[in-house]
Structure 1
Amino acid sequence: MGRPLFYEIVDKPATSCVIAICCLVWFYIQKNGIGYAHVGLSYQTAVEGHFWRIVTSAFSHISVLHLVFNMSALWSLGVVERLTHLGLGVEFYLEYTLVLVVLSGIVVLGMYHVLINRLKVEYFRRVTAVGYSCVVFGWMTILSVKQPSSKLDLFGFLSLPISFAPFESLVFTSIIVPQASFLGHLSGIIVGYAIAWGVVHGMNSYWAVSMLGWTAVLFVYSLKRSGAYDFSFLEIESVTDPSLPSLRIVAPGDSRTLQMSAFPGGGAELV
């Protein structure tokens, strides 16, 4: 008999929480009839200031098969949380999950920029990507470097050597699922190697909380700035220098304000 699910969840608390969040987001999307164009990441929307999509696109899945495939792979990769003797563990998992979400989104936008502006491939201007597999491919890559003897189990019956899993999965998904985002998956692999080889390093609880805080601020700021969501208590208006917008929080029924400076300001692919 296999190990009871309860004990597996206890051993993989961070992975279990991420899977729960993705499932809840999927349920919300299905219940409210939200399409990939509303939450996905594309070059065009990024140019328009929709930077919040870097986060929403990662945790959104449009089909149940897409969700099941990604979560099955993520569950198998949850072994990272138990590898404290290799310098990994729950804390490492949480800190670098944040890094993978943010950096993989930035890397894929960088790829789109080169393809559109240097190689003149306009197709990638409006391609919209959604899905958590950029992070899944990142963890797959990290585990392939840190523990190459591991196996990646998919759906309980398919087992791949982890040392080859990132590129095997990259080719496999591109062939089997035509809509799979090759560049999105590749961005996860690139960031994964950067973390595993120490190019991106030094994350600790302080920097993780700081990064999470700034990500939340920029998330809300870009939501408001892009007009995607109307925060009635938040006003953004020009100051003396039009290139430097200000952020003003207005308390209802009170004239007091808090101001701070801020920086100036196709198809679908599954990731």
Structure 2
Amino acid sequence: MGTSILFQVLERPATSVVSTLLAAVYFYITSHTIGYAEVGLNYEQAVQKLELWRIVTAQLSHVELLHLLFNVSTLWSLGVVEESGSGARSGTLYYFQTSLVLLIFSGLVCLLFYHVLGVVLRREQFLSVTTVGYSAVIFGWMTILSRSGVASFSVFGLANIPMWLTPFASLVLTSIIIPRASFLGHLSGIVVGYMVASGIFDWLTLWWLLSLTAWTAALLVFHLVRSGRLEVPWLRMVPSDGAGDIETGVPVVRIVDGVLERR
């Protein structure tokens, strides 16, 4: 049994890393009492306040243990994509690259849904709806596999259902098990999954995806330093009047109202 699990971990390195990352982020969030509002994705903060880093943090974060367990177990079942290294649409590199596409663009599509509903159709409650969880990426993978000839999908090892039905069956099942789950967030993953399967993102190289991710990470670090949640040596953020600055005799780089200054 242990050997079998270890063999699967070695065959699915990216899936194993992502699953571990999701668990680590969950334990960090719960141990620091961080809530939906601080890491989640909603239109007001992501678009109106330009906190686009939330596209990444929201999907890597889980506030409820049941939500995390549901996503990780489903993610592990989808890791079969990694086990076949032959062909252009299989293997660890393809899995990693496609997962990045799903993560970034499902967040953007979700924001587009909120824009249409909240701004265009003036249903303002959608401007403050907050989503968290890796579900959009998972639903995207279900959709891709349903278009790639995979016949069936195992649901927690209890039953197999036709792959073409999996995204929509899971959408209903998730809404029942986790009532607060975001329908539009999951639907965004399905939409981007169909886009990936149709080849729309074939032009997008791994270099560009990593660049987008790096810029998002940089924005997140900037926000954490600015809010005081992260301390960086020789870097301080102070208001324009200098309040809060401490003289230590050590040259520092300060960010004063968004402008870098060296002292």
TM-score (norm 2): 0.82
Q: What letter corresponds to residue 124 of structure 1 in structure 2? A: F
Deviation by residue 1:24-52 (Cα, 9 ceiling, x = unmatched): 11111121222222211111111222222
Q: Give the distance between the partners of 1:166 and 1:6, measured in 2 at CA.
A: 28
CA contact (8 A) 1:40 1:53 kept: yes
Q: Which amino acid is 2:221 matched to?
A: V
State yes or no: 1:7 paired with 2:28.
no
Instruction: Say what the alpha-carbon RMSD is for the aligned residues.
Output: 2.8
Q: Secondary structure at the match of 2:86?
A: helix
Superposed counterparts of 1:14-93, under 5 Å: 14-46=14-46, 47-87=48-88, 88-93=90-95
Map Cα deviations across residues 59-95 of structure 1 (whole Å, 9 max, x no partner).
1111111111011110000011123334221001111
Give distance in 2, aligned partners of 1:106 and 1:222: 20
**CA distance, structure 1, for counterparts of residue 224 and residue 253 of structure 2:** 24
Unaligned stretches of 5+ residues in structure 1: 239-251, 263-271
The change in CA–CA distance for 1:147 and 1:215 in structure 2 (over 3 A counts) is: farther
Provide the secondary structure at the position in 1 that maps to 2:34: coil
Per mean C-alpha deviation after superposition, the further-off stretch among 155-164 and 126-135 is 155-164
**Deviation string for 1:135-185 (max 9, x for gaps)?**
000111111111332x32232213222121111212232344321211000
CA contact (8 A) 2:171 2:186 kept: yes
Which has the bigger relative contact order, CA under 8 A and spacing at least 6?
Answer: 1
> Would you say the 8 A contact 2:83–2:91 is kept in 1?
yes
- Among all aligned residue pairs of Structure 1 and Structure 2, give the percentage whose two residues are the same amino acid: 45
Among candidates 144, 147, 151, match of residue 145 of structure 1: 147
> Unaligned 5+ residue runs, structure 2?
241-248
1:11 maps to a residue whose letter is E
Pick closer, same or farther for the CA change 1:13–1:142 going to 2, 3 Å. same
Report the equivalent of 1:126: 128
Residues 155-164 or 65-74, more deviating: 155-164
For residue 244 of structure 2, what is the aligned residue in structure 1?
none
Structure 1 pair 2–220 and aligned structure 2 pair: CA distance change class (3 A): closer
Seen in structure 2, the aligned counterparts of structure 1 residues 199 and 116 have a Cα distance that, compared at 3 Å, is same
Q: Output the CA distance in 2 between the equivalents of 1:201 and 1:228.
A: 40
Alignment length (residue pairs): 245
Letter in 1 for 2:19: I
SS of 2:203 mapped into structure 1: coil
Residue matched to 2:245: none
- Structure 2 match to 1:191: 192
Q: Is the 8 A contact 1:95 1:203 kept in 2?
A: no
Q: Which moved more, 1:174-183 or 1:137-146?
A: 174-183
Which amino acid is the alignment partner of residue 142 of structure 1? Answer: I
1:104 aligns with 2:102: no
Q: SS in structure 2 opposite 1:146?
A: coil
What is the one-letter code of the residue matched to 1:69? F
**Paired amino acid for 2:74:** A
CA–CA distance in structure 1, aligned partners of residues 107 and 68 of structure 2? 19
| 2:97 aligned partner, one-letter code | E
Cα distance in 2 between the residues matched to 1:129 and 1:181:
6
Q: Which moved more, 1:51-60 or 1:167-176?
A: 167-176
Provide TM-score, normalisation by structure 1. Answer: 0.80
Task: Identify if the C-alpha distance between structure 1 residues 30 and 203 changes in structure 2 by more than 3 Å, giving closer, same or farther.
Answer: same
Q: Where does residue 243 of structure 2 map in the other structure?
A: none
- 1:152 is aligned with what amino acid? F
**2:43–2:127 Cα contact (<8 Å) kept:** yes
Is residue 40–residue 58 contact of structure 2 (8 Å, CA) maintained in 1? yes
**Alpha-carbon distance in 2 for matches of 1:41, 1:205:** 24
